[in-house]
Amino acid sequence: MRRALLLVVALLAACTATTPPAQTLTVLASAELADLEPVLARLRRDTGVELRFDLRGTVKASEELARGSTGHDLAWLSSTRYLKLLGARLPLATSVMLSPVVVGVKRGKADALRSASWADVAARAGSGSLKYLMADPRVTGSGSAALIGVATAAAGTGAALRDEDVRCDKLQGFLVGRAPDPPAAESLFDEYLAREADLDAVLTYESTVLRLNASGRLREPLEVVRPRDGIVLADYPLMLLDPDKRAVYDKVVAWLRDRPAQEDIMGRTARRPVDPTVPRTAELGAELGTSLYFPAAQQVLNTLLAAYDRAGRGSRVVFALDYSTSMRGARIAELRSAFASLSGFEAFHVGERITVVRFAGTVLAEHAVTIRSAADVAALNDFLASDDLRDGTAIWSALDHAYRQAGEGAVVLMTDGENNAGIGPDEFLAAWRGAPVRTYAIPFGEADPAELARVADETGGRLVPATEGSLAEAVEEIRGCR
């Protein structure tokens, strides 16, 4: 035994005498992880392993990984979700820490948004009263997660977003509030500091918001708002790309998941530990609420990005509304209330060009406005309040009139009767074949749904049935369709 111990001493002495050369691993990392530097310094000191970060936006990094080898030893991204969307085979991955994507709102604007839903955020953004910074969703995980989150909430299905849910995109109002030139930077820390004066809020990781507050460099502190319909949570898996580095990967993972490192990560970067036994700091003690389900297909994200790119362009809707005498009473009241109650994702938003055409046997009146303020919406409702109901129903002539105003937007046609004046449906179709305008038709009362459906389908739009009492739902369903 004594000899054995001496041998151990000798071996240990040999190990200690030559300081082991620092092992260096290259890591393709989400760019916000630059803030881990002090933690990595301790990792190196304790284990002799240096992680050399090559920083990218998470979405870009995922695309590179999905294409094949990047030559890195490890990858450390905010999530494997984008890799999975791209159908990439997942490497060995171990989650290290957590941070949700949230809305950081300036204290002065936060009162209205405490316990808000994404629809509330969208309505305020759409009305021009919330200007926010959000990173480029084509490049960054935070931007992509925010976009997917808000679109999932807007679809309101309570399920993962599908392609058909994005067909009518409800995000145009929300995107009105987006600050111009979305940064490709994953961390909005510096960007927000530089642009704070022009902004009300920032959509990014909770950790970034908390670090901004702690920086002492903000003119107005931010409050963390976690929309109540759900958030997207990042879990920062460390992935092994080069299987030959398995032993050192295990060493790094063990160190990172050990309590001191978990506490250090929480203290320095305001991310939440994955170790359930580490007590959260006061600012990280709050419940996060629920997560939104995450889409299963890349196609959904592509459709969503197309909608994102369209934002602010061609937001033009013409409403052709039947003001014939048969509408008198409950029906016209319901029509007015359907418009008055548009809110959240369906609310009229700043920059949207709205035209309302009242028709009976002929076009009775027209009101067109580009929304700039709440007063413009009020004026629209005043226009609808007219009691000027007349005889006759010239559906196709009214639609023809609407098409002249529609540009490349959409027309919402609402009628409660059969056509008995003006041109017929075939004449209308012949005149507008190939026009870049879709018709969404809401039949009501005695209207002929078959004929309306035929025309709507030919324009690329569709019929949205509304029994009495559900007109508001039908109008809501069509909002955002174009």
Interface with other proteins (CB under 8 A): 4-5, 7-9, 11-13, 16-17, 80-81, 84-85, 87, 90, 92-93, 95, 98, 100, 117, 153, 156-162, 228-231, 233, 235, 272, 274, 276-277, 280, 287-296
The secondary structure of 40-76 as a DSSP string is HHHHHHHHSEEEEEEEE-HHHHHHHHHHS--S-SEEE
The least CB distance from residue 169 to other proteins, in Å, is 18
Nearer to other proteins, 20 or 289 (CB): 289
Tokens of 248: 């050192």
Please give the radius of gyration of the chain, using alpha carbons only, rounded to the nearest integer.
29
User: Which helix H or strand E contains 270, and what residues bound it?
Assistant: none
Cα 115–121–124 angle (5° rounding)? 120
Shortest distance (Å) from residue 255 CB to other proteins: 15
Look-up of token digits 């949230």: 102
Nearer to other proteins, 8 or 378 (CB): 8
CA dihedral 438, 444, 360, 481 (to 10 degrees): -20
Residue number, 19 or 329, with CB nearest to other proteins = 19
Residue with tokens 């919406």: 377
Nearer to other proteins, 92 or 305 (CB): 92
Closer residue to other proteins, CB minimum distance, 250 or 408: 250
Contact 413, 462 (CB under 8 A): no
Instruction: Say how far apart CA 354 and CA 176 lie, in whole Å.
Output: 16
Q: Which residues contact 44 (CB under 8 A, 6 or more apart)?
A: 22, 50, 51
Contact 275, 257 (CB under 8 A): yes
Instruction: List, in order, residues 6 or more apart from 351 with CB less than 8 Å away.
Output: 176, 312, 315, 370, 371
Q: Are 37 and 27 in contact (CB under 8 A)?
A: no
Task: Write down the least CB distance from residue 135 to other proteins, Å.
Answer: 21
Pick from 433, 172, 412, 462: nearest CA to 314:
172
Taking the least distance from each CB to other proteins, the nearer of 76 and 294 is 294
Residue 460: other Cβ atoms inside 10 A: 14
Structure tokens at 442: 């809401």
Our CB check for other proteins shows the closer of 17 and 450 to be 17
Residue number with CB closer to other proteins (160 or 340): 160
Answer yes or no: are the C-beta atoms of 85 and 299 closer than 8 Å.
no
CB of 417 to other proteins, least distance (A): 34
474 vs 386: CA distance, rounded Å: 22
Task: Return the number of the residue (5 or 282) whose C-beta is nearest other proteins.
Answer: 5
CB of 345 to other proteins, least distance (A): 13
Nearer to other proteins by Cβ, of 161 and 188: the residue is 161
Pick the closest to residue 444 from 412, 466, 419, 476 (CA basis): 466
Least Å from the CB of residue 57 to other proteins: 19
Q: Which residues contact 387 (CB under 8 A, 6 or more apart)?
A: none
CB 422 within 8 A of CB 394: yes
Least distance from other proteins to the Cβ atom of residue 109, Å: 23
Kind and range of the H or E element at 281?
Answer: none
Query: In whole angstroms, how close is the CB of 155 to other proteins at the nearest point?
Result: 11
Give the SS3 label for residue 290.
coil
How near is the Cβ of 362 to other proteins at its closest, in Å?
44
Q: Report the nearest approach of other proteins to the CB of residue 145 (Å).
A: 12
CA atoms within 13 A on the CB side of 364: 23
Cβ-contact 275, 130 below 8 angstroms:
no
Q: Which is nearer to other proteins, 4 or 197 (CB)?
A: 4
Closest contact distance (angstroms) between CB of 61 and other proteins is: 18
